[in-house]
Amino acid sequence: MEKLWLKSYPEGVPAEIDLSRYQSILELFSTACENYAESKAYSNLGSSLTYKELEEKSRYFAAFLQQELGLKKGDRVAIMLPNLLQFPVAMFGAMRAGCILVNINPLYTHHELTHVLNDCGAKVLVILANFKDVLAKTLPEVELKHVILTEIADLFPAPKRVLLNFVIRHIKKMVPKTKIKGAYRFNQALHQGKKSALTPVTLTQEDVAFLQYTGGTTGVAKGAILTHRNLIANILQLEAWFKPAVGDNNLDNVVVITPLPLYHIFSLTVNCLFFLLRKSLIVLITNPRDIPNFVKTLKKQPFNIITGVNTLYNALANNPDFAKLDFSHLKLTVAGGMAVQKAVAKRWQDITGCVLIEGYGLTETSPVVTANLLDNKEFSGSIGLPIPSTEVSIRDQDHNELEIGEVGEICVRGPQVMRGYWQSGEVTERAFSVDGWLHTGDMGRIDNHGFFYVVDRIKDMINVSGFNVYPNEIEDIIAKYPGVLEVAVVGIADEHSGEVPKAFIVKKDPNLTEKDILKYCHENMTGYKVPKQVEFRDELPKTNVGKILRRALRTN
């Protein structure tokens, strides 16, 4: 099929990008630090780091890894932190030492942590002291060489650092008393590294930048091998996509609210790396689930851009204080990570005056594959057009390309697509077709203008008496009902139909009943799509990023 999407490209967006501009992420990082030295790069809980301070501290950390711990090019360094100032310092520092970064969810259980550390072979783990208990259970089962502990306020100015760390440790008692024998302290590492000389390491586009673990919600987590080329490609693709809509300078000096954790590929690439090039202040939100405090942060800090997922935007839009904020500076709201529900998008636009711009991607694609037009006047329901240098195709189970409008698996090719899965040759082979297309596991379709639409995950599709039913479709309809706060739909076994849909709902209106929901569903969808059961819950299980875990609902 021809690349229909190119005909819908805005004027000024190229079909292809020039990948030769940067040879590594370090080159991008050095350029930003040199050009914007005195500007603020990251802020967190009221404290900040300038680009100059980020360069210095990451250099100290890199020297410590090299000279004190003896790490070499290609060694793995794992980072198990929420959004704190220490994250970019450790990340860029480890990269400057030539190491491969392994991002780890801080909420992992000791079994999950054990699997990832053993699989990646990390020599060093940087971890928030709050999670020492999990680490203590894990250490006897892994071959980790060194642990670097940090506390939330370690990079804050002295009075604030001492006070806040004291409160977190002794008043809130959030830091376990567990001792980790031989562990270094983060600030100790910086102090020692300051006294050592960094040996520069040459990195190329073909060097591995990250092992980004994925698949933990559907099976054993696998490490996607993302090279410097993969990440640079996606950064330049985003730049090409953004430029005609916002101009050369309209994204410079912006304040970017970053609630999604930096260990997640969306936040890592878009917020941490792409906006670093734009002289941006990246505001790190440590605990976005605390919506009242999140809203207080937004009130104090005028902001231009915010990125997030559907559940986050829904939670903010349902907070009465959020609607009172000043949105006059807001230029762009980007949604990814999971399907955006139309009801949430409408509520967000009504409150903020800003359209939710939805994109699509995966960990395996660094992550962005498609994006909507930035000048959309309203939420489209589409995941947009493939970004420059990206091919997307809809295929059937035999890998035959389908016609316009037909539903099949979304397959992707492009320079942002991973090299493969770490130490998983057979899994990698299954992930790609013989002609190099990545199987995404998502069902979708393309329209005659080249816009793509996600229908659902293949594994989440419900088969009702031979009819394919997509949970996203049912959820989108139920979410529009005024008394519904959140909804998730899964398939459950049925002796007559094989499977039937079941809806799990969190109420906004305490008087909402199952009868109300079923009546509304019968009025708005075909009979076989109507949930046969409705269960009300106080909350729905989610990943730390905010994705609803359908698998957990199916097994409970």
| Burial 311-347, CB ≥16 within 10 A → b, else e | bbbbbbbbeeebeebeeeebebbbbbbbbbbbbbbeb
**What is the model's pLDDT at position 495?**
82
| SS3 label, residue 324 | helix
Token representation of residue 295 = 């809203």
pLDDT one digit per residue (tens) for the chain, 556 residues = 789 999 999 999 999 999 999 999 999 999 999 999 999 999 999 999 999 999 999 999 999 999 999 999 999 999 999 999 999 999 999 999 999 999 998 988 888 899 999 999 999 999 999 999 999 999 999 999 999 999 999 999 999 999 999 999 999 999 999 999 999 999 999 999 999 999 999 999 999 999 999 864 345 789 999 999 999 999 999 999 988 766 555 667 889 999 999 999 999 999 999 998 888 999 999 999 999 999 999 999 999 999 999 989 999 999 999 999 999 999 999 998 878 899 999 999 999 999 999 999 999 999 999 999 998 999 999 999 999 999 999 999 999 999 999 999 999 999 999 999 999 999 999 999 999 999 999 999 999 999 999 998 888 889 887 777 889 889 999 999 999 999 999 999 888 778 899 999 999 999 999 999 999 999 998 888 999 999 999 999 998 788 899 989 987 7
User: In angstroms, rounded to a whole number, what is the distance separating the alpha carbons of residues 463 and 479?
Assistant: 22
130-135 contacts at long range (C-beta below 8 A, 24 or more positions apart): 130/106, 130/168, 130/174, 130/175, 130/176, 131/80, 131/106, 132/175, 132/176, 132/178, 132/180, 133/176, 133/178, 134/108, 134/109, 134/110, 135/110, 135/180
**What is the model's pLDDT at position 217?**
36
- The packing angle between helices 25-35 and 86-96, to 10°, is 120
106 and 133 Cβ atoms separated by less than 8 Å? no
User: In angstroms, rounded to a whole number, what is the distance separating the alpha carbons of residues 334 and 357?
Assistant: 5
CA atoms within 13 A on the CB side of 263: 26
Cα 499 from chain centre: 32
Q: Are strands 368-371 and 385-386 parallel, antiparallel or unpaired?
A: antiparallel
Q: Return the residue matching tokens 């490490």.
A: 223
C-alpha pair distances (Å), 497 with each of 450, 462, 475, 493? 36, 11, 20, 8
Run of H or E residues at 454: strand 452-457
Q: Return the residue matching tokens 């929901």.
A: 517
**What is the model's pLDDT at position 525?**
87
Token representation of residue 216 = 């933990």
Predicted structure pTM score: 0.89
On the question of a cis peptide bond just before residue 367, with omega within 30 degrees of 0, the verdict is: yes
